[in-house]
Amino acid sequence: MDIEVLHNIDLKDFSYFKIGGKVENLYFPKSIDEFIFLLMDLDNPLIFGGFSNVLFSSVGVKQDLICTSKFDKFDINDSYVKASAGVRGAVLSRACMEKSLTGFEFMSGFPGTIGGNIYMNASAHKQSISDTLLKVKVFNTSKKEVVELLKNDLNFGYRSSVFQEKPYILLEAEFELSVDKKENISNRIKENREFRKTHQPQNIPNVGSIFRNPENNSAGKILDEVGAKLLKVGGAKVFENHANFIVNYDNATSCDVLELMFVMYNKVKENFGIELKPEVKYFGDMSEREREICKILFQR
């Protein structure tokens, strides 16, 4: 198969954080057949969609990478929506609004794809991707087979899904949305976007929330209480309007971000006895110092 591939590229050119060293091969399948072919053929590749929840090591990544961004077909039939893994949530949100379908307004404000959003069980503004999901087609990488799973098989929780526990790669998903007036949907999308303009970094590299919210608490609030907004390490600093966002304001390395996360984690632990858990996913080869920090932060 003649599948698009880039060689020896800098991951910082792709990741939302604008951080990351070299990777030898980055593949871009355009169809389910190409995607499955790669999953069968490559040795344990890493899969990404929008690269909007990842921190890549500045040292680089040894494994092959597959990016689903060009596997981006979708169909809308009445209130049923079928989408490939690489469809941008924001694109689908707009298309559903045009058909007067509600349920995807929350996805208009951040850069995730359907695959990444389901893996993370992405949510915002009282909506989540699992609310409307009916079933998925997945590739089981240990059995090398395609299976269909229903929503109840997917173990959804706060920022968690079966995809984080089992060797499953999302290929396609089907949803059922509800009907509402287009004007109401459009207004909700506008409100969501306005909220982000005032609360989140604009045009400065970041990956959204760095830590998950502890149970019945807000990571942003407790980080603010320990003075995190004043913290910086190298080219990475905490965003001045939201203490749970790290921005790459000056060519930060993965080590800068990890060191900063470690300071934030330690301050919260010392002051509140809470051990924050990262929401961002880390990939790649680690320096000695990164290994030490990851052992504690990511428990690996």
Ligand X SMILES: Cc1cc2nc3c(=O)[nH]c(=O)nc-3n(C[C@H](O)[C@H](O)[C@H](O)COP(=O)(O)OP(=O)(O)OC[C@H]3O[C@@H](n4cnc5c(N)ncnc54)[C@H](O)[C@@H]3O)c2cc1C
Q: Does 233 bind ligand X (CB under 6 A)?
A: no
Q: Does 112 bind ligand X (CB under 6 A)?
A: yes
What is the rounded CA–CA span in Å between residue 283 and residue 207? Answer: 14
Instruction: List Cα–Cα distances, 60 to 110, 210, 275, in angstroms.
Output: 26, 21, 28
Query: What is the contact mask toward ligand X in residues 59 to 98, using x (rule: CB under 6 A)?
Result: ---------x----------------x-------------
Q: Does 103 bind ligand X (CB under 6 A)?
A: no
Q: From the candidates 58, 93, 159, 254, which is the catalytic residue?
A: 159
Asked if 46 contacts 56 with a C-beta cutoff of 8 angstroms, the reply is no
Asked about 159 being catalytic, the answer comes back as yes
Query: What is the contact mask toward ligand X in residues 28 to 57, using x (rule: CB under 6 A)?
Result: ------------------xxxxxxxxx---
Asked about 209 being catalytic, the answer comes back as yes
Q: Give the SS3 label for residue 49.
A: coil
Asked about 34 being catalytic, the answer comes back as no
Placement of tokens 């749970």 in the chain? 244
Q: Scanning residues 253 to 272, which ones bind ligand X (CB under 6 A)?
A: none
Placement of tokens 């301050």 in the chain? 267
Q: Does 238 bind ligand X (CB under 6 A)?
A: no
- Residue 183 buriedness (CB in 10 A; 0-12 / 13-18 / 19+): exposed
Q: Does 278 bind ligand X (CB under 6 A)?
A: no
Q: Which of 16, 27, 56, 239 binds ligand X (CB under 6 A)?
A: 16
What is the rounded CA–CA span in Å between residue 17 and residue 13? Answer: 9
Q: Does 235 bind ligand X (CB under 6 A)?
A: no
Give whichever of 147 and 179 is closer to ligand X, judged by the CB atom: 147
Give whichever of 199 and 269 is closer to ligand X, judged by the CB atom: 199
User: Which conformational region is residue 60 in: left (phi greater than 0), alpha (psi within -120 to 50 degrees), or beta?
Assistant: left
Q: Does 132 bind ligand X (CB under 6 A)?
A: no
Q: Give the SS3 label for residue 268.
A: helix
Q: Does 170 bind ligand X (CB under 6 A)?
A: yes
Please report how close the Cβ of residue 262 comes to ligand X at its closest, in angstroms.
21
DSSP 8-state secondary structure symbol assigned to residue 160: B
Q: From the candidates 57, 209, 259, 290, which is the catalytic residue?
A: 209
Q: Beta-carbon neighbour count of residue 241 at 10 Å?
A: 12
Number of residues that bind ligand X (CB under 6 A): 32
Q: Scanning residues 146 to 165, which ones bind ligand X (CB under 6 A)?
A: 163
Asked if 102 contacts 72 with a C-beta cutoff of 8 angstroms, the reply is no
The upper half-sphere exposure of residue 26, i.e. CA atoms within 13 Å in the direction of its Cβ, equals 22
Interacting residues toward ligand X by CB under 6 A: 16, 46-54, 68, 85, 110-113, 115-117, 119-120, 122-124, 163, 169-170, 200, 206-208, 281
Which active-site residues does the annotation give? 159, 209, 279
